[in-house]
Structure 1
């Protein structure tokens, strides 16, 4: 067996140099073949397999585009202010402050401090969820037979725990996540209907309004009724850009949004970050 010895394992590993697979990071990101931004500005390029996760820290103003390549991705996303993990995405405030449970272009992703973590600047999917969070170990074990991270049916929370640990965060730091590319609607009686995917090629673009840590688990939505664990590849691209400024329609759209942006800028100014 070629890898039965240390030398054999080394030679086998070195033989993989330059090999590519569909689901892997591209390093450096600027080697990505068709960047959606000005040349040299791409800072993150990765394809995340179904049942896997990724994470990154990036600067205020960075834009992040997620694309459902084959129609069965579901990106469960958490955001934390870099260096201040106690300020993190609040799905409750994101919904409550903006009077809207349905994510769409123009909405703000808010922390429980009343500040903007990111803006949803573009959306071709229209199938998202801010209500259900991600799957759990117990639930996946009941549905698929296992939910451990190394299993064939890993739970979203278990993968987010791993991503969190790699950024100095603990399981207790993980709030409910947002889900992109698999939708949910609320019926008049309060029940939730799973609306599924918009199909291959749908994308969303987020713009960071503070320095943020992003955690992403690409796993089936917890309300997905299909008996099999169905999850396909997610494309992740991020590039340097500029944060939202006064006068931008995203800033001026609502009174609640203007207040959230004002809270954000006031806080950043006090720390010398604007």
Structure 2
């Protein structure tokens, strides 16, 4: 038995060992309270932070956020890949629709100003800032079968967990079933489509890049931080992802993003009407 094993062999020993971890960095749990996060985004008061966490490579997180919440994802070391699924928290059968997200925008490459649409024609979230530019709306996330074939194991508790397996766990903690999971978007590891339809992996823009999303409705947010399914590196490579959320306001009719395109304006009108019926703050129609 190892020294740690002997120290935790009894209930009292396990308790003392657990309490000794206080003040150390735990990469798979949020900072509580979030105001204790050491580096709030510029211009954000610590008291406005509602979530702050570092998600280890090969791990996941999930959170429910209010309408207007801003959510910043940061690729800390350059090899994170945030596979994102979104659900309307008030009616979770409404979920991210990647096909409509790209179709309504008339292009498939995500960046600042992109609208992440639901299968009901509403804006679940908008991209307000992006310093990475390396994202993917084509491939989705990895599966247990694909990771087993490539790395030898795709189980969620194994050394190379698949994104879908982790999202199934995150979904279950929010009362959702595997069938409720939509196709995901991937942030921080890019893919381009060539003239022949072939995919080229463009990888990361480097460490420290970030994407900030704005929740246009109350959301269930599911994130798996795992390698992109077409990442050519032979080893399972996944580094930490920072997730920080703070209070804010949803997009208003006087925001240039609201009327940037006719299709986007219609989606925002649908969103505002839904929010108004729910009595949500800022849910007035234009």
Could you say whether these structures have the same fold, taking a TM-score greater than 0.5 normalized by the shorter chain as the test? yes
SS of the residue 1:46 aligns to: strand
Q: 1:33 maps to which residue?
A: 38
TM-score of the pair, normalised by structure 2? 0.94
Q: Secondary structure at the match of 1:249?
A: coil
TM-score, normalised via structure 1 length: 0.98
Q: 1:12 offset after TM fit, Å?
A: 1.6
Q: Could you tell me which residue of structure 2 aligns to residue 127 of structure 1?
A: 134
Match of 2:24 in 1: 19
**Aligned twin of 1:101:** 108
**Cα RMSD over matched residues?**
1.0
1:151-171 CA distance string (max 9 Å, x none): 110000000000000000000
Which consecutive residues of structure 1, in runs of 5 or more, have no partner in the other structure?
none
- Alpha-carbon shift at residue 233 of structure 1 (Å): 0.4
**Partner residue, 1:251:** 258
Residues 49, 244 of structure 2: 8 Å contact kept = yes
1:42 deviates by 0.5
Q: Map of 1:160-179 to 2, 5 A cutoff?
A: 160-179=167-186
SS in 2 for 1:40: helix
Q: Choose which of 153, 163, 184 in structure 1 pairs with 2:160.
A: 153
Specify every segment of 5 or more residues in structure 2 that has no aligned partner in the other structure, as ranges.
1-5
1:4 lines up with 2:15 in the alignment: no
How far the C-alpha of 1:22 sits from its partner, in A, is: 4.8
Contact 2:79/2:237 (8 A) holds in 1 = yes
CA distance in 2, matches of 1:23, 1:124: 25
Once residues 249 and 120 of structure 1 are traced to their aligned partners in structure 2, the CA distance between those partners, rounded to angstroms, is 13
The answer to whether the 8 Å contact 1:23/1:233 transfers is no
Structure 1 residue 201: Cα displacement: 0.7
Mapped partners of 1:23, 1:86: distance in 2? 28
Q: What SS class does the counterpart of residue 257 from structure 2 fall into?
A: helix
- Distance (Å, rounded) in 1 between the aligned partners of 2:74 and 2:225: 11
Indicate which of 189, 195, 200 corresponds to 1:182.
Answer: 189
Number of positions where the alignment pairs a residue of Structure 1 with one of Structure 2: 274
1:31-58 Cα distance to aligned partner (Å, 9 max, x none) = 0112111231000100000000000001
CA distance in 2, matches of 1:59, 1:90: 20
